[in-house]
Amino acid sequence: MNRLRIFFFLLFGSTIFLGLSNQALAQKYVCQGVGNLDDDPNHALPVMSKLVNAGCNAAMLTVWWERVYPQPNSKPNWIQLDNQINHAVNNLGIKVAIRIHLGRNYGLTKGFWEEEEAVKDFKGKVLTNYYDNNHFSFAHQPSIDKAKGFVREVCERYKNYQKNGKIIFITVVNTPQQELGFTFQNQQWPEKEYLAVFDHSKWAMIKFKDWAKEKYSTIRTLNSYWGTNYKSFLEVEPYVNWGNPQDSFRGRRGKDWYIFRHLMIKNYYDQVIDAIKSVDSSYKVACEFGGVADNMALLRNTFAFKDLTAKADILKTSIEGFQGDISFSNTRPNQKFYTEVAFFDLPTAEDLKNYTKRAVEYGCEFIMLGIESDNQAEYDKLLPAVQEAVKGLYNPSSEVVFADTVKYRLSQLTDSRELVINDWKTRSENGKKRIRVVLDEDLITENQKIENPLPDIVENTPITPPPPPPIETTPQNPDIPNQLPRENIKDYTKELVVNQNFQFRIPENLYYDTDGFIAFIEVLEAPKWIDFNRFELNFYGKAPYLGKYKVKLRIYDNRGGSLESSIFVEIVPPIIDFELIKGDYFDVPIEPWGFIYNNRTLYLDALPEKLNVLARCNLDSVNFIFELTGPYKLKRSSDRLPYNLFGEGRGLSFPIGTYKLSAKAYKKDSVISSKIVQFFVKASTNSSNNTIIDWQSYPNPFQQICNIKLPEEEDAEKLIFTYYDSIGKKQAIKKDYISIVDKTAYIDLGNSSIPTGNYILEISRDGQTLKTIKISKL
């Protein structure tokens, strides 16, 4: 079973909430979360008791639809949840929250929903990610009704606990990650996971065509806005960029697809909330999003979280970087805000503890930390975060102080989230300051039926492109001549990658009018592989050749004046650059330390303790294969931004020596670009501190590569390396595992069967032992 997110939460506030008795200071909760990944009836009870002893005073419990009802005619099996609630409430005296998981194993969906009623991705593949987890389409009302029936059954069964003030909230999730919204990836085992856009099921496509017809009335009107040439609404379908799925929401057509997906989620979850409160209106309901502004939120379709949570009492999302500011700034006055992190999401106990501290600084009403198995190592890793939360049980939350206020639009996030993030980074000094972020959900609030649609052309009448939109004119004062449009940047140049699909807009402020506004832009000349959507000011296509090309434009103002201008597209090859960063960027802004160019020397005393390497690339949706050789050896794949060598939030304290780093960028198993650099690592900028004596072993102890400094006069090719194991038996080290660089032997013992422990390394030449060195392997 996959390790789905499992949580803790901590309630902050200064008023009475969720049935708490009146007190001078409202009680807070430190709550264990149980994902119920095991079907043992007594699962998680031992660790629940341990955590209560450590200070936890609540538990969050997950009920799986497929476990209660494996088949439609199964006798319901409630024993696991009954045992857990009884143990929590009656034995331990704590309260509970209930998460209802409506996803099912694809093999257990028959009788609940059929394949054509299941959610599907843009390739027409049924969702089968994380051990074949699947859920129904939000466009299929009969499936929603069945799900609502199970939700009501859960709420009815535990209604007495609610009446006695023992239930904190109810939440309903659907994705394989136990979250609300669309998932962002799919997989058909044993094939690789891939980024995916949902929902392209039969019912979603039917509803999308109907929705488009309701909005545009005539196919001619839709074509004029989308830049398409459909003959009827039966042909209408969403735009999909297979090479870069996140590009599928650009332009008017893409934005309509985003809006429609948003409305599907909202309609579904509003019904779920109504079903919960129909059992008992005092139930509190949470919306659990994995992220509302991270780099997967576009695929989740959760950017417009204000509208999605209009009926919800509680919002859950990540507080990583920008998300903390935008989430906290846009919760309603009566809405609670919380976050979560599972014990396996961060590398160390200190990281988990720091995440808890940051969440408190953001003013989160809940902080959730995840664990459920009675594993001592996992418990020890989580315990400092629990203790940090318990210390603040009766302390009031400090007020969040904002250094600045900024407003962003939903359309900006869907067009280019990175531009928004970069602006926020500048304003917040890379997250050091809190910024109040006002989110204008313009795509949702401005979504209206198109008035005065164009009449469809009568059949057999030659089809001609719709005319340019009329230029609005204003009465002219003959004494005040019209000022012509102007350009802010002469010879503006957009860089594009050869043989890759592109799409970009004319920058908003490239052209302006001092006494009116820009009314219309037309293309006069352009390479034949560039297309232009005049309604979205959007260029798209694929460039087949390198070089710099001119696009000639005419820009009109609202009084008929015009300016001829040229912009340029420069077609460049795929480029990879290696950037050195501090190794803790998982939940803090990335801290750069310069680029790694060929033959660069890194001085450890001038760098953070742990470092990571990003591959900066002018390509989207690629898969990187990194390989590092030298005093440390590693080969790793990275398939999502930011592409990195060691993994998010991880890093290495580089041993001294000479390294080679290579990266290959793949698209559909083809290498698109690659790069190799050599770099050096020294201890200090002070050359006297960089001396390594002959026969010195470093690092000691080592993880994988044992490095030995050889004397200058030694002929390294004649040296024989062996070691004595724990029982004193002499073992040869193959030549294939030894590399000699700059009179240093890099001995790769990571692929051997040598276990953790202490060993004697012996170096000999011509049958004569030259040196014996004590080494230790971690």
Per-residue three-class SS string for 125-194: CECCHHHHEECECCCCHHHHHHHHHHHHHHHHHCHHHHHCCCEEEEEEECCCCCCCCCCCEECCCCCCCE
**Does the pLDDT value for residue 161 go beyond 90?**
yes
Look up the CATH number of the domain holding residue 742: 2.60.40.10
Residues 622 and 511 in one domain: no
Q: Is residue 282 a part of any domain in this protein?
A: yes
> In the predicted model, what is the mean pLDDT of the chain?
85
Say which residue, 753 or 68, is predicted with more confidence: 68
Q: Give the count of domains, the chain.
A: 4
**Does the pLDDT value for residue 615 go beyond 80?**
yes
How is residue 373 written in tokens?
A: 């198995």
Q: Which of 203-212, 232-241, 385-394 has the lowest mean pLDDT?
A: 385-394
Q: Which of 5-9, 341-345, 755-759 has the lowest mean pLDDT?
A: 5-9
Residues 560 and 702 in one domain: no
pLDDT number for residue 343: 79
Q: Is residue 198 a part of any domain in this protein?
A: no
Residues 372 and 295 in one domain: yes
Say which residue, 596 or 630, is predicted with more confidence: 596
Q: What are residue 370's DSSP bridge partners?
A: 33, 342
**Does the pLDDT value for residue 25 go beyond 60?**
no
Residues 678 and 597 in one domain: yes
H or E stretch at 253: helix 251-279
Residues 673 and 766 in one domain: no
pLDDT number for residue 688: 64
Cα-only R_g, the chain: 30
pLDDT number for residue 755: 79
Say which residue, 479 or 627, is predicted with more confidence: 627
Q: What is the mean pLDDT of residues 397-412?
A: 87
Q: Is residue 233 a part of any domain in this protein?
A: no
Q: Is residue 423 a part of any domain in this protein?
A: no
Q: Which of 297-306, 685-694, 725-734 has the lowest mean pLDDT?
A: 685-694
Of 532, 567, 602, the last residue of a domain is: 567
Which amino acid, one-letter code, is at 366?
F
Measure the CA–CA gap between 538 and 550, rounded to whole angstroms: 16
Question: Who's near 355: CB < 8 A, 6+ residues apart?
Answer: 341, 346, 385, 587
Q: Is residue 475 a part of any domain in this protein?
A: no
pLDDT bracket for residue 463 (50, 70, 90): low
Which amino acid, one-letter code, is at 183?
T
Q: Is residue 219 a part of any domain in this protein?
A: no
Q: Which of 140-144, 160-164, 243-247, 517-521 has the lowest mean pLDDT?
A: 243-247
Residues 606 and 710 in one domain: no
Q: Is residue 40 a part of any domain in this protein?
A: yes
Say which residue, 115 or 7, is predicted with more confidence: 115
Residues 72 and 157 in one domain: yes
Residues 56 and 170 in one domain: yes
- What are phi and psi for residue 332, nearest 5 degrees? -75, 160
pLDDT bracket for residue 281 (50, 70, 90): very high
**Does the pLDDT value for residue 4 go beyond 50?**
no
SS3 283: coil
Measure the CA–CA gap between 404 and 412, rounded to whole angstroms: 19
pLDDT bracket for residue 78 (50, 70, 90): very high
Q: Is residue 355 a part of any domain in this protein?
A: yes
DSSP for 394-436, written as a single string: TSPPPPP--SEEEEEEHHHHHHHHHHHHHHHHHHHTTTTS-EE
**Does the pLDDT value for residue 20 go beyond 60?**
no
Measure the CA–CA gap between 337 and 326, rounded to whole angstroms: 11
pLDDT tens readout for residues 249-277: 878 899 999 999 999 999 999 999 999 99
| Angle, alpha carbons 212-218-220 (nearest 5°) | 105
Residues 675 and 705 in one domain: no
Look up the CATH number of the domain holding residue 309: 3.20.20.80
Residues 370 and 517 in one domain: no
Of 396, 420, 455, the last residue of a domain is: 396
SS3 104: strand
End-to-end CA distance of the chain: 30
Domain that holds residue 672: 576-682
Q: What is the mean pLDDT of residues 388-413?
A: 83
Question: Who's near 460: CB < 8 A, 6+ residues apart?
Answer: none
Residues 173 and 313 in one domain: yes
Which amino acid, one-letter code, is at 435?
I
Of 521, 538, 567, the last residue of a domain is: 567
**Does the pLDDT value for residue 10 go beyond 50?**
no
Q: What is the mean pLDDT of residues 611-620?
A: 87
Chain centroid to CA 372: 24
**Does the pLDDT value for residue 73 go beyond 80?**
yes
| Angle, alpha carbons 399-401-406 (nearest 5°) | 135
pLDDT bracket for residue 8 (50, 70, 90): very low
Nearest to 631 by CA among 540, 535, 742: 742
pLDDT bracket for residue 171 (50, 70, 90): very high
Say which residue, 21 or 72, is predicted with more confidence: 72
**Does the pLDDT value for residue 23 go beyond 60?**
no
Chain centroid to CA 645: 18
Q: What is the mean pLDDT of residues 697-716?
A: 83
Residues 662 and 721 in one domain: no
Give yes or no for a contact between 356 and 385, defined as CB atoms under 8 angstroms apart. yes
H or E stretch at 299: helix 297-300
SS3 525: strand
- What are phi and psi for residue 555, nearest 5 degrees? -115, 125
- What are phi and psi for residue 283, nearest 5 degrees? -60, 135
Q: What is the mean pLDDT of residues 552-573?
A: 90
Which amino acid, one-letter code, is at 199?
D
